[in-house]
Chains A and B, each alone.
Chain A
Amino acid sequence: MLTEEQIRRYARQLIMPEIGGSGQSKLLDSSVLVIGAGGLGSAAIQYLAGAGVGRIGIVDGDEVDITNLQRQTIHAGNLGMNKAESAASFVRKLNEDVEVKAYPTKVDVENVREVIAGYDVVLDCTDNFPSRYLINDACVLESVPLVHSAVLRFIGEIMTIVPGSSCYRCVFPEAPPPGSVPSCQEAGIAGVTTGIFGVLQATEAIKLILRLEVLENRMLYADLLTMEFDVIDVRKDENCPVCSGRLKDLREVSYVETCRIE
């Protein structure tokens, strides 16, 4: 049962048919893990907390730097603080309904399955290929729904991976060798791009919790300069080493360079 204060706090979404009282209860009973509290993560976390996702985990081993604040607005006033702690402090200020846990660390082969296993949804908001392949593979192995997004300059992509659907490796079987695709640090990133795609990730997480239609077996690509938004059907690759079930243990994979699985 919602309290009187909760009825007021969530009033604008409680009157919507897609959410209502039962949807709000689902949100309050749910948990989302956000890996990376950078550009994507800082946008996603704010709206997950606002919507009343009951438990939010935030993973980030980095500290807030002045070059982050052009897009990572959640960290206002927190220069030098660990990003997971900084984002968690924002969540506590915004909404006491949310139980927030900061993991001031990086995910790796040893800890990733354990960290994600207790959550209903994972958002991949990281900024490098090895982490992205690691998180995809771990979420498929643990059967935890994953919302992937990645950005560069004014472009971005997002897809949602659920148990049984195609996975990130079905779209991109392997990562570009280092140096062949520039990073945001090398080529730049518009703050608005991370804002839009981070909020899209939060949207997908909320819809997963509410059991609404998500970007399953589909990838959305957008170029914000031309405002071309393309939704592309992604077919499950029957030979995908991960979602076909062949991979059993992350330790079989070397998460460096192309992250290829032979």
Chain B
Amino acid sequence: MVRVVYPLIMTTATRKKEEEIEFEGDLSSLIDLLCERYPQLKKVLYNKDGFNRFINIYVNNEDVRNLDGFETRLKVGDTVKFIPAIAGG
């Protein structure tokens, strides 16, 4: 199982803050699976040029840009967190 934690902007599509997903593969296949499960998610995560640069993805508190990016291999017990930029003060 992989634990996936969603920020506010994704919960309008997922209707939950987090979930455990039976999954094997890399990050990009997980995102594909999520977009399939929650069709509204695609327009939250992507723009015409690709994945939104204001959303960071962390696997076990490591920025995937410092791992293998979207090819980062996920294993049982991993926590994947999507964190967008926020500006409130």
Contacts and interface: CB of A to CB of B under 8 A. Distances in A.
Interface of A: 36, 38-41, 124-129, 132, 149-153, 155, 157, 171-177, 180-184, 187, 189, 194, 221, 230-235, 258
Contacts of B85: 129, 150, 171-172, 175-176, 181
Describe B's contact surface by its main secondary structure. mixed
Given A174-B53, A232-B62, A149 B89 contact: yes
Interface residues of B, number: 23
Interface in B62-89: 62-63, 65-66, 81, 83-89
B63 to A, nearest CB: 6
Interface of B: 7-9, 44, 47, 52-54, 56, 58, 61-63, 65-66, 81, 83-89
Nearest to A234: B63
A127 B81 contact: no
A35 B58 CA distance: 29
B67 to A, nearest CB: 11
A18 B52 CA distance: 42
B8 A187 contact: yes
Interface of A, secondary structure class, is mixed
A136 B7 CA distance: 24
A221 B83 contact: yes
